[in-house]
């Protein structure tokens, strides 16, 4: 023990000195798994002892700079409050951990500004791979990112939005179509409302198309007042439902573009003493945990975030390890209607 406390991290150099070998020998010992070179057992022993004694830990920042490899991936999610993304993040983290990667989580709150900021951050502080759920980023912006950095990117998005990138997606257009069709054919509804989100958010137009498709096919006309717009939040779902129920002839069923808004919609109906599902049926989208907590339990189109996270992580690591080939990878994760009590 020296008279001074250890003030700072020991470096490889310190270890080398203490072990009486060169710094590169220390490096070799510490990465003997990857290095093909043989080192004498005594040297290994000495080095390991010195490492132990100094409580040495490699500095990954230095290793990154040198090796152009960070052992770190980043994931950009659209809303940290949306349980969908929690499952995705958990799965991704588990897979990353198996391969000894750290995961940097970033949250954009659906804001364009934050999405761009994320790209900037990645350009300036590169990682080995990026997973993202882009809402506003243009194809051009994303191409800039990938061309500038050459970092593999996998997106959770509709396949046509980013034609160059590996993509995982849930087929929400078809799922919406089928859910609404079921509302019409099986449940006998003719007056169906729609609570969507701004067309600037990707799922907005897609789910809207699925909705229109089912109604057109059934030769049902929907009055414009039946289309309400929210912003993914519970509060906006409440507002939209209140608007719908205050109509002279309110819908008997409402398709809501995500569960959070559907929860708000049911809440608003209850407040107005409109019974769900007797007077108005509600279908959500996502299948978050809250769907089984509220009463009536929410009928919803389930997405499978664990599968999504798994496919995204797999696709990304395949790219990182260069086993993907030139072809773009696209994975569809199917959605399924889960009937509960709100319909």
Partner DNA sequence: ATGAAAGCGCTAACAT
Partner DNA sequence: ATGTTAGCGCTTTCAT
Residues that bind DNA (CB under 7 A): 9, 11-13, 20-25, 27-28, 30-31, 34-35, 37-40, 42-43, 57-59, 62-63, 65-68
> Mask of contacts with a second copy, 179-208, x by CB under 8 A?
------------------------------
Is the CB of 57 or the CB of 90 nearer to DNA?
Answer: 57
Residue 90 touches a second copy, criterion: CB under 8 A = yes
Q: Tell me which of DNA, a second copy, none is bound by residue 200, counting a contact when its beta carbon lies within the kind-specific cut-off of 5 to 8 angstroms.
A: none
Q: Find, among 149, 114, 147, 148, the residue nearest to 132 by Cα.
A: 114
Partner whose footprint covers residue 25, from DNA, a second copy, none (CB < 5 to 8 Å by kind): DNA
Contacts 24+ apart (CB under 8 A), 45-49: 46/19, 46/20, 46/21, 47/15, 47/19, 47/21, 49/19
Q: Indicate the residue among 67 and 334 with the shorter CB distance to DNA.
A: 67
Per-residue CA distances from 54 to 57, 227, 253, 343 (Å): 9, 67, 68, 65
Q: Which does 83 bind (CB under 5 to 8 A by kind): DNA, a second copy, none?
A: a second copy
Residues with Cβ within 8 Å of 268's Cβ and at least 6 positions away in sequence, in order, are: 237, 238, 239, 241, 242, 245
The secondary structure element, H or E, covering residue 235 is: helix 234-245
Nearest alpha-carbon partner for 256 in 243, 234, 237: 237
| 210 touches 270 (CB < 8 A) | no
Binding a second copy by CB under 8 A: which of 149, 306, 324, 329? 149
For DNA, the closer CB: 126 or 309: 126
For a second copy, the closer CB: 229 or 235: 235
Angstrom distances, CA of residue 142 to CA of 75, 139, 215: 14, 5, 35
Residue 90 site contact among a second copy, DNA, none (CB < 5 to 8 Å, cut-off depends on kind) = a second copy
Give the interface size with a second copy as a residue count (CB under 8 A): 52
Report how far residue 175's alpha carbon sits from residue 173's, in angstroms, rounded to the nearest whole number. 5
If the CB atoms of residues 217 and 321 are measured against DNA, the closer one turns out to be 321
Q: Is cis: bond before 277, omega within 30 of 0? A: yes
Please give the structure tokens belonging to residue 41.
Answer: 């057992």
Question: Which residues sit at the interface with a second copy, rule CB under 8 A?
Answer: 5-9, 55, 57-62, 64-65, 70, 72, 80-81, 83, 86, 89-90, 93, 97, 102-107, 109, 117, 120-121, 123-126, 147-150, 234, 263-264, 267, 270, 289-290, 293-295
């Amino acid at each position: 023990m020296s008279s001074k406390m250890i003030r700072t991290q020991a470096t490889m150099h310190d270890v080398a000195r203490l072990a009486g070998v060169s710094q590169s020998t220390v490096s070799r010992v510490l990465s003997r798994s990857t290095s093909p070179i043989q080192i004498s057992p005594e040297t290994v022993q000495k080095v390991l002892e010195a490492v132990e004694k100094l409580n040495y830990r490699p500095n990954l920042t230095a290793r990154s700079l040198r090796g152009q490899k960070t052992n770190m991936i980043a994931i950009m999610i659209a809303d940290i409050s949306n349980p969908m993304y929690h499952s995705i993040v958990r799965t991704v983290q588990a897979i990353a951990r198996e391969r000894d990667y750290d995961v940097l989580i970033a949250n954009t709150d659906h804001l364009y500004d934050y999405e761009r900021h994320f790209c900037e951050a990645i350009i300036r502080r590169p990682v080995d791979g990026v997973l993202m759920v882009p809402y506003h980023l243009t194809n051009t912006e994303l191409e800039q990112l990938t061309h500038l950095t050459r970092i593999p990117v996998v997106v959770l998005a509709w396949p046509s939005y980013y034609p160059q990138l590996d993509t995982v997606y849930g087929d929400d257009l078809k799922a919406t179509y089928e859910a609404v069709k079921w509302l019409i054919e099986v449940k006998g509804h003719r007056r169906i409302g729609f609570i969507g989100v701004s067309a600037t958010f990707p799922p907005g137009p897609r789910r809207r198309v699925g909705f229109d498709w089912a109604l057109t096919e059934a030769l049902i006309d929907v009055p414009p007042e039946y289309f309400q717009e929210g912003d993914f939040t519970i509060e906006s779902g409440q507002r939209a439902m209140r608007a719908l129920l205050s109509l002279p002839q309110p819908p008997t069923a409402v398709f809501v573009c995500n569960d959070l808004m559907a929860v708000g919609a049911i809440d608003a109906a209850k407040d107005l003493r409109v019974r769900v599902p007797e007077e108005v049926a509600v279908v959500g989208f996502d299948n978050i945990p809250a769907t089984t907590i509220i009463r009536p339990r929410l009928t919803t189109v389930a997405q499978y975030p664990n599968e999504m996270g798994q496919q995204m992580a797999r696709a990304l690591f395949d790219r990182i390890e260069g086993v993907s080939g030139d072809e773009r990878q696209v994975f569809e994760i199917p959605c399924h209607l889960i009937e509960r009590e709100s319909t």
